[in-house]
Structure 1
Amino acid sequence: MRTASEPNGRQHPTRVSAADVARAVGVSPATVSYVMNGRSGVSEETRAQVLETAEQLGHTSTARASRLRSHQSRVIGLVLTDIANPFYTEIAAGTIDAARARGYEVFLTHTQEDPTTLRSIVDAMIARHVDGVVFTVLHPDDGDVVRSLRSARIPLIQVSRRIERIDADFVGIDDRAAAAEMMEHIVGHGYQDIVTIVGPRTSSASAAREEGFTRTAEAHGIRSIASHRISTYLSEQGGYSAVEELLARKALPRAIVCGSDAIALGAISALRAHSIAVPNDVAVTGFDGLFPGASSLVELTTVNQPRREMAEQALDLLTRRIDGAGGSYQSVLRAHQLRIGTTCGCPRQGSEAIV
């Protein structure tokens, strides 16, 4: 560390700034900041030069990050609900791309909502010394796996769903507000007989969506009863089975509002298998925005989630934690959009409308 002389001849340390490091390397202070925070956009050669120079000059923040990185595996765990669900497929792709841009590889796995599988996965990740973990699967009773990671000093971040009571970063959308917007649109068509089909209620996202659907319907005088609210597995098969259940009970409604696009596609498949037209006989909506643009197969009315942006933001927050510079825990809500297709009963407009 550099020193400066005092009048009595003693030496005292002078704080080395990012600008000092930038001048010594011949790069901008922004480049030094990117390196310190483990962000992309800097070549590996420049990154190495900045870290080496920072160590030599005694830039404490960067030196600390360098020491932390020297003990890292450069692997991040990603625990998904079900890789077969296109929502999680895109989260995975976005996470892997963002991780590699920061010099990390990804240990990818899924639980299919099984708590025993989650426990064994987390144990394996701890044994392999991953640097951090991204979760899309946590339920309220999964606190023990979080405590295990805390004990191992491995940071985590929650994406899409969360355990409210734990101290951890979160990236998602306002599921309750998005669901309310969708139900407002459906009620606007004049539908009164409406069934909602969501994923497991132990998922904070599914529970919030069901609450948004139900409260909005009730605000319009549409009575919500248990038989009109179904919870199923987050998959096409889950949606298909839910509609088969409605048909068996002879309780097919005028509109089915789904908590995910995968569920909606399964519902539409079941209806078509019974020669029930969508939307003329039964309107159907989804949630997630998995199928951008008009599709020749289905023009699904849904809620767009910025999945890749969510993954990128999650990796940014997580790598800051890994580098010891995370600060206070953050809850980041990204913007969603209602995308109007034809499955709700709206006319085809050449392409789907974003509102």
Structure 2
Amino acid sequence: MTKQDPVLAPSGRRPTILDVAAACGVSPATVSNVLAEKRHISAETRALVLAKVQELKYVASATARGLRMNRTWSIGVVVGDIANPFSPEVVGGVEEALWERKNNLILCNTGFRSERKIAYIQSLIDKHVDGLILVTQTLTVKEASAFDIKRLPPLVTINRVSEAIPSDHVTVDNEQGVTDLMNHLFALGHKRIAFVKGLTSSTSAAARHKAYRAAMKHQGLLVDHELTIQGDYTIESGAIAGRRLVEMSSPPTAIVAANDMMAIGVLGALRDKGISVPEDVSVAGFDDVSISSHPLINLTTIEQPKYETGTTAARLLLERIEGGPAEPPRVVMLTANLKIRGTTGRARPATRRKLIPQ
């Protein structure tokens, strides 16, 4: 038998690396090195092996390769709320970066429930995923105590810093974004500005609220605690906040929500009350989810580069997996951009308005 003679696997049997090696007259290790793109293989041997792989229709066993390299080529992505349009855009970026490197994505949605988050992460650990990405999720000390930390794979967090485990982190410049938005409202003459806060567990929500307070103080304006309403990043909480704010004896002339979904809830509440936006009250959000630019909403907001956030997080994680844990945790802060649309306008005197009875 010469090296050129085709060696076919017995009928009905999937060709193995041994069949390819026999067809080429080389060792299985040489075939493995060619498929792994090792540099020390000669061009002639590489061409021969690749030709026989194609001829025999050989497909490498992912399981065997994984055992050999201690890899599964799977990444767990844990999101807080898949219904929020922010999440799919970020996950789309993660998926694209993983696809480029032939990695699989396992998606888990926790609904911001701690027990579900713990169960999903434990399941991903048991599946031996190569790494984890937490999207708008943190990992508290109490939650981390439920795992064997030594088994936890490399981790990257998006928008919320993990308080339990140091990890790479991708976020947007929350403070600069809110500062730019507040300066836009100040330029329109607004002084009585309300703020709807995000989840109490969110570090990004805390940064946005901090920037709101700092901007008000910088203008020499009173930070009225009645104008700060706790929300939870949902449309419903935005609607509740909107109703409370416009029913005040001295309502705000502008309302800033810590995310677009709450801002959309505010818009709905104002419409129900017969209040015009932006003629009576200006409204703004944060994130610039896809629906915010729709002509029926046309929301002024801060654009967070969601797709880029996802690709950046995935690449950081793959670098960590392939390079090891020697490098200290990295933080990547992306630029936030003000998007001025139709829900903000010049301030009107903050007077009691006639509301439509509910």
TM-score by length of 2: 0.74
Contact 2:140 2:164 in 1 (8 A): no
Q: 1:132 to 1:251 in 2, by over 3 A?
A: farther
Aligned length: 292
Question: What is aligned with 1:34?
Answer: none
Q: C-alpha root-mean-square deviation of aligned residues, in Å?
A: 2.6
8 A contact 2:167–2:330 mirrored in 1: yes
The structural deviation recorded for 1:291 is: 3.3
Structure 1: gaps spanning 5 or more residues = 1-46, 58-65, 347-355
Q: Name the residue aligned to 1:309.
A: 308
2:298 is matched with which residue? 299
Distance in 2 between the 1:156 and 1:270 partners? 39
Distance in structure 1 (CA, Å) of the matches to 2:208 and 2:331: 18
CA distance in structure 2 between the aligned counterparts of 1:232 and 1:77, rounded to whole angstroms: 28
Larger Rg: 2
Residue 271 of structure 1: aligned partner: 270
More displaced stretch, 81-90 vs 132-141? 132-141
Q: Give yes or no for the alignment of 1:129 onto 2:128.
A: yes
Partner of 1:345: 345
Which amino acid is 1:102 matched to?
A: R
Structure 2: which amino acid aligns with 1:279?
P
Deviations 1:278-312 (A, max 9, x none): 11111000111113895321221111111111111
* Structure-2 residue corresponding to 1:115: 114
1:2-27 per-residue CA deviation (whole Å, 9 max, x = no partner) reads: xxxxxxxxxxxxxxxxxxxxxxxxxx
Instruction: Specify whether residues 67 and 88 from structure 1 end up closer, same or farther in structure 2 by C-alpha distance, changes over 3 A only.
Output: closer
Q: Does the aligned pair in 2 maintain the 1:236–1:266 contact within 8 Å? A: yes
The answer as to whether partners of 2:33 and 2:41 remain within 8 angstroms in 1 is no
Are 2:171 and 2:333, in contact at CA under 8 Å, matched by a contact in 1?
A: yes
In the alignment, is the contact (CA less than 8 A) between 1:140 and 1:202 conserved in 2? no
> CA separation in 2, counterparts of 1:269 and 1:244?
9
Choose 67-76 or 295-304, whichever is displaced more: 67-76
Q: CA offset at residue 190 of structure 1?
A: 1.1
Specify whether residues 161 and 149 from structure 1 end up closer, same or farther in structure 2 by C-alpha distance, changes over 3 A only. farther
Residue identity (%): 28
Closer, same or farther: CA 48–306 of 1 in aligned 2, 3 Å? farther
Kindly state the Cα deviation for residue 252 of structure 1 after the two structures are TM-superposed.
Answer: 3.3
* 1:349 paired residue number: none
Evaluate the alpha carbon distance shift between residue 284 and residue 89 of structure 1 in structure 2; reply closer, same or farther with a 3 A threshold: same
Partner of 2:210: 211
In 1: Cα distance, 2:300 partner to 2:139 partner: 30
Aligned pair 1:336/2:336, yes or no? yes
* Partner Cα distance (2:145, 2:331) in 1: 17
Partner AA of 2:275 in structure 1: I
2:101 counterpart residue number: 102
1:143-154 correspondence to structure 2 within 5 Å: 144-145=143-144, 148=147, 150-154=149-153
Q: Does structure 2 conserve the Cα–Cα contact (< 8 Å) formed by 1:163 and 1:204?
A: no
Equivalent-residue separation in structure 1 for 2:293 and 2:162 (angstroms):
35
Rounded to whole Å, the distance in 1 between the matches of 2:152 and 2:201 is 27
Structure 2 residues without counterparts, runs of 5 or longer: 1-31, 43-64, 347-358
Residues 124-153 of structure 1 deviation map (CA, whole Å, 9 limit, x = unaligned)? 111221111101233473564388374104
Cα pair 2:77 2:105 within 8 Å, conserved: yes
Question: 1:164 offset after TM fit, Å?
Answer: 5.8
Instruction: Describe the shift of the 1:324–1:93 C-alpha distance in structure 2 as closer, same or farther (beyond 3 A).
Output: same
The residue type equivalent to 2:193 in the other structure is: I
Task: Encode CA deviations 1:238-279: one digit per residue, 9 max, x unaligned.
Answer: 211211233455563111011111111111011111211111
Match of 1:51 in 2: 36
Name the stretch that deviates more: 334-343 or 91-100.
91-100
